[in-house]
Amino acid sequence: MNHQTIDFIPLCQSIHLGKQWLTSMGYAAHLFNINIQYSMNLPRHALQALEIDRVTQARVSDDYYIYIKRQISQWNIGISSMLANAIGIAPFKDVFLVKSISTWCSI
């Protein structure tokens, strides 16, 4: 979500378009009776989710690629987890496959 917000120029030029985007997503989720999990959201997305009851969880970690490329820890999720929990959204940590697919298939 952060790339869509930062890189999509109309979202940078309109004060209302971001809210319309997120609330429209929430409305569609309501119509189809499904929940939403935000991924790579900015704090503004989390705060907007206070008005969108279909947002039930948010991934509080970044993509693994960033941590592998920079060789830094992947577990710095304390602050983002606390924000999500404080506003009633379940924090979610992305998982990583540590075995090859062929190993899993042979189990």
Question: What is the domain partition of the chain in residue ranges?
Answer: 2-96
pTM of the model: 0.77
Q: How far is Cα 30 from Cα 81, in angstroms, rounded to an integer?
A: 25
Query: Quick one: pLDDT band at residue 107, thresholds 50, 70, 90?
Result: very low
Average pLDDT over residues 47-57: 96
Q: What was the pLDDT predicted at 9? A: 93
Q: What was the pLDDT predicted at 101? A: 55
Q: How far is Cα 45 from Cα 61, in angstroms, rounded to an integer?
A: 15
> What mean pLDDT value characterizes the chain?
86
